[in-house]
């Protein structure tokens, strides 16, 4: 799907992941992505989950509480003919985690940088079966924000920084 463009998201108040950060994410995940089940929490445009599918993920679930953003994700999935391999959950990340019955190999979490509830959401995620054992969670956040070394069963693995953006990697034990 290289070179294809997503539907425009201007005017929706989104902060899309930069191409540099997206490339770094998938360079790091490249050994784990083929055949993986992928969870895109706070999905926005859906670009990260779509990229995961483009790189060989078997399935992706997009979680987005804003109806306009969810419509944009649906439009983008349609542009890339991915509607049959994906699902969109319209609701909060916490509601999804509490009601979800699936387990995922990889999860990408990109909440609004000012979201004060993200620590609680991560703890709920770490205490659930949403992430498979040895599965990985990647959190995109402002580089000055610090997270604890664990969230329930999620343990800190590493952090990389790209300008004002940091990616924190956690593994499920």
What is the pLDDT, as a whole number, of residue 115? 84
What is the pLDDT, as a whole number, of residue 2? 56
What CATH number matches the domain at 19-166, 3.40.50.720, 3.40.50.2020, 3.40.50.150, 3.30.420.40?
3.40.50.150
The secondary structure of 56-112 as a DSSP string is T-SEEEEEE--HHHHHHHHHHHHHTT-GGGEEEEES-HHHHHHH----EEEEEE---
pLDDT tens track of the chain, all 173 residues? 555 666 555 555 666 788 899 999 999 999 999 999 999 999 998 999 999 999 999 999 999 999 999 999 999 999 999 999 999 999 999 999 999 999 999 999 999 888 888 999 999 999 999 999 999 999 999 999 999 999 999 999 999 999 999 999 999 99
Domain range annotation of the chain:
19-166
What is the pLDDT, as a whole number, of residue 111? 93
Cα 109 from chain centroid (whole Å): 4
User: How many CA atoms are closer than 13 Å to the CA of 5, on its beta-carbon side?
Assistant: 3
Name the nearest CA neighbour of 64 among 111, 119, 124, 129: 111
Collapsed DSSP state (helix, strand, coil) of residue 139 = strand
Site of tokens 């000012």: 114
What is the pLDDT, as a whole number, of residue 87? 97
């Amino acid at each position: 799907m290289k070179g294809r463009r997503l539907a425009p998201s201007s005017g929706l108040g989104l902060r899309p992941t930069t191409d540099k950060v997206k490339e770094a994410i998938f360079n790091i995940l490249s050994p784990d992505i083929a055949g993986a089940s992928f969870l895109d929490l706070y999905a926005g445009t859906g670009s990260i989950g779509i990229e995961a599918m483009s790189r060989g993920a078997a399935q992706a679930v997009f979680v987005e509480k804003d109806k306009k953003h969810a419509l944009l994700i649906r439009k983008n999935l349609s542009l890339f003919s991915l509607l049959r391999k994906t699902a969109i959950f319209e609701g909060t990340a916490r509601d999804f985690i509490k009601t979800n019955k699936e387990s995922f190999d990889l999860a990408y979490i990109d909440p609004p940088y000012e979201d004060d509830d993200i620590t609680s959401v991560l703890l709920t995620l770490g205490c659930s079966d949403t992430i498979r054992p040895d599965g990985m969670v990647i959190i995109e956040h402002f580089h000055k924000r610090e997270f604890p070394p664990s969230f329930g069963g999620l343990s800190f693995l590493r952090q990389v920084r790209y300008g004002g953006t940091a990616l924190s990697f956690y593994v499920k034990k």
